[in-house]
Amino acid sequence: MDIDRQKAETNTSPNERVIAQKVHVIACGAIAREILAITRINNLDHIDLHCFPAIYHSYPQKIAPALEEAIADARSRGFKKIFVGYADCGTGGDIDKICEREEIDRLSGPHCYSFFSGNEAFAAREDDVTSFFLTDFLARQFLSFVVVPLGLDRHPELKEIYFGNYRKVVYLSQEEDPALQEKAKAAAAYLGLDYEYRFTGYGDLARELLAV
């Protein structure tokens, strides 16, 4: 070990050394529950999770500016490795630009529906062009993340405008929960669409977190 490196490590506090060994994951709050489950099941104690508000799922223009601030903050606190727990998620490539500039990786795929399904499997399907997707999170939060933001509670006539070209609701389930299945069925009925259930588990999200 060279002298400069030895001095640097000697002058580093135990807490700083612990932080430097962790992976700081900056993620969407809409998948926080799944990330925590994966880290718990697989004993991924090296992952330090920071989530943005889940509502950013519906307002992707907020993600990139918040991400730049969060990366700068994480580096100022001593994190050496950072991973972005977002796919592109409607940012039009803005997340990729930040990741390229900062030399960090993100979740693969265009959005959570894809990586939960498995990106290759999702891309291979040709029957989902007219599908509206729900995840466990969106099945739980259908009212606050779909109905209210779109104004459907105040103007139900907008359902035809927003969803007239959809044919079915596809519920991509991370946990086999009968109560959530009933919520997803009710959402499909509310929108006047057919219903399809697909159990995905954690898909590529688990594989990629295990690799960081």
Over the chain (212 residues), the average pLDDT of each successive run of 10 is: 45 63 96 97 96 94 97 96 97 98 97 97 93 98 96 96 97 97 98 98 97 94
pLDDT of residue 6: 44
pLDDT of residue 21: 86
Strand order across the beta sheet in which 47-52 lies: 47-52, 23-28, 81-85, 105-106
* Tokens coding 123: 């891309």
pLDDT of residue 19: 76
pLDDT of residue 10: 47
Q: Which domains does the chain have, with CATH numbers?
A: 3-107 (3.40.50), 113-199 (no CATH)
* Tokens coding 154: 């105040």
pLDDT of residue 17: 63
pLDDT of residue 7: 45
Query: Which residues have a Cβ under 8 Å from the Cβ of 85 and sit 6 or more positions away?
Result: 25, 26, 27, 28, 31, 35, 49, 51, 106, 107
pLDDT of residue 13: 58
- Rounded to whole angstroms, the Cα distance separating 38 from 44 reads 8
- Rounded to whole angstroms, the Cα distance separating 66 from 60 reads 10
